[in-house]
């Protein structure tokens, strides 16, 4: 799933602070998906193939602050068999997104279908102030 950083008006922007992206696991630990990204305009992270809702935590570190916003992505999981010699791949359809925290104004579904084509961002992250 690909994400595009936007300002509050929905215009593509660049996050000036350091961005880490985590995904909480069922056992209580976190998985680091993106580490210390600076001047972030966009990023891609994998989606789960067994859960109907993925949770990611966006940790933004500035010079004098650290904050975390949580994004919840509800989706379908559609197995796709390409060949008997290969494992199934999963396509997804994003059905709903929501966010909680302090920096995100909203998360907008730009392209609901998650498949091999990652050229168009799936989700737009709208930050409250100029990122």
Confidence at residue 130, expressed as pLDDT on a 0 to 100 scale: 56
**Coil, strand or helix at 33:** strand
> Which pLDDT value is given to residue 131?
54
Measured distance CA(95)–CA(12) in Å, rounded: 23
Residue matched to tokens 């992250």:
125
Give the per-residue pLDDT at 23.
93
Separation CA 122–CA 47 (nearest Å): 12
Closest CA to 46 of 73, 84, 67, 19: 73
Q: What angle do CA 66, 14, 111 make, to 5 degrees?
A: 105
Question: pLDDT (tens digit, 9 = 90+) per residue, 11-47?
Answer: 999 998 999 999 988 777 889 999 999 999 999 999 9
Query: For residue 103, which of 75, 40, 61, 46 has the smallest C-alpha distance?
Result: 61
Query: What pLDDT score does 84 carry?
Result: 79
String of DSSP letters for 102-127: SSEEEEEES--EESS--SS-SEEEEE
Task: Record the pTM.
Answer: 0.90
């Amino acid at each position: 799933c690909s994400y595009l950083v936007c300002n509050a008006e929905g215009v593509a922007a660049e996050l000036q602070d350091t961005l880490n992206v985590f995904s909480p696991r069922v056992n209580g630990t976190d998985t680091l998906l993106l580490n210390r990204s600076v001047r972030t305009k966009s990023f891609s992270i994998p989606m789960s193939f067994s859960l109907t809702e993925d949770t990611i935590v966006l940790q933004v570190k500035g010079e004098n602050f650290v904050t975390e916003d949580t994004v919840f992505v509800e989706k379908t999981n559609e197995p796709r068999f390409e060949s008997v010699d290969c494992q199934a791949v999963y396509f997804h359809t994003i059905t709903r997104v929501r966010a909680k925290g302090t920096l995100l104004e909203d998360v907008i579904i730009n392209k609901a279908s998650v498949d091999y084509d990652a050229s168009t961002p799936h989700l737009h992250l709208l930050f409250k102030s100029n990122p």
